[in-house]
Amino acid sequence: MSNFNLGDVKALAWDVGGTVFDWHHTIKEEITTLAASQSREIDAAAFANKWRFKMFELLQPVRKHEGPWKNADQLHLEALDIVLSEYDWAMTLNEREQLNTVWHRLNSWPDAAANIEKLRSRFQVTVLTVLSWQIAVSCSKHNNISWDGILSCEFLGHYKPDAEAYQKAATLLGIRPDQLMMCATHKNDLESAAAAGLRTSYVHVPEEHDVVSKHFFGADANVKIPSEDQFDIVALDFSDLSGKLLA
């Protein structure tokens, strides 16, 4: 834990895609079921990963204002079209749109909901996500997670990891950036938040890191928990995080 006054932190901004919601296994199970219903052999895990990361590729020109502004629902649908073509899997527009709704019912990681609820006793607890507002609302309701607010970058004029996205969140909450703490399991998200003036909490979600690391770096990728001085708070799991924040 870094040397800072936790009492100065007024609000927590949570990443949710991967940190709170288990996109990989939810999407994998949906693709597995759909492929089986059509007697199609497919690597559902690889399909899920390609869909997720293709969306982030498509997000980059939007983030840089090099094209029309789009939200994650639009980008997921465009990414799905690309991935389906790679698998030579034909679907009608209606079928693609129906499959795209799986992003609105992502399951959360165990213990996430209970510990997020605990944190609301001391802090304003909000979402700060690149996912669409509708995805964040639907998935939160699906998992019975309550927030004090949901901030989707689709309405902020900037997508994370742009500094303006984090700073706009603080402005909307009526506090200074250093009074807002970003909570995430993705180091790049936290590093960008810190550069924008926010405090940072890392929560370790091993299943998310396994998926991301193996996709980019292979099966032998070694996922390391960051050192205690890398972020303001480093937690081994959701319970550990809530315990440190409420101490």
Q: Domain holding 125: CATH number?
A: 3.40.50.1000
Range of the domain at 118: 6-22+106-245
Last residue of a domain, one of 104, 126, 144: 104
Q: Are residues 98 and 133 in the same domain?
A: no
Q: What is the pLDDT of residue 2?
A: 65
Final residue belonging to a domain, choices 55, 81, 104: 104
User: Distance of CA 26 to CAs 48, 73, 106, 190, 199, Å?
Assistant: 9, 16, 6, 25, 30
* Close Cβ partners of 102 (under 8 Å, ≥ 6 residues apart): 26, 27, 30
Residues 110 and 197 in one domain: yes
CATH of the domain at 80: 1.10.150.240
Rounded to two decimals, the pTM is: 0.94
Q: Residue 166 — very low, low, confident or very high, per pLDDT cuts 50/70/90? A: very high
Residues 114 and 129 in one domain: yes
Residue-wise pLDDT for 174-223, tens only, equals 999 999 999 999 999 999 999 999 999 999 999 998 877 666 545 555 57
Residues 31-36 have a mean pLDDT of 97
Distance, CA of 193 to CA of 233 (rounded, Å): 13
Which candidate, 79, 63, 232, 68, places its Cα nearest to that of 161? Answer: 63
- Cα–Cα distance for residue pair 59/69, rounded to 1 Å: 9
Range with the poorest average pLDDT among 52-56, 69-73, 211-215, 243-247? 211-215
Report the C-alpha gap between 242 and 6 in whole angstroms. Answer: 13
Give a yes or no: residue 1 inside a domain. no
| Shared domain check, 135 and 228 | yes
Q: How far apart are CA 79 and CA 59, in angstroms?
A: 10
Taken in order 131, 133, 139, 145, is the CA torsion positive or negative? positive
Closest of 86, 87, 79, 24 to residue 55, by C-alpha: 79
Same domain, 111 and 100: no
Mean pLDDT for all residues in the chain: 94
* One domain, residues 114 and 134: yes
SS3 191: helix
* β-sheet bridge partners, residue 202: 184, 234
CB count in 10 Å sphere of residue 245:
20
Are 53 and 15 in a shared domain? no
User: Which among 81, 104, 127 is the end of a domain?
Assistant: 104
127 and 232 in a single domain? The answer is yes
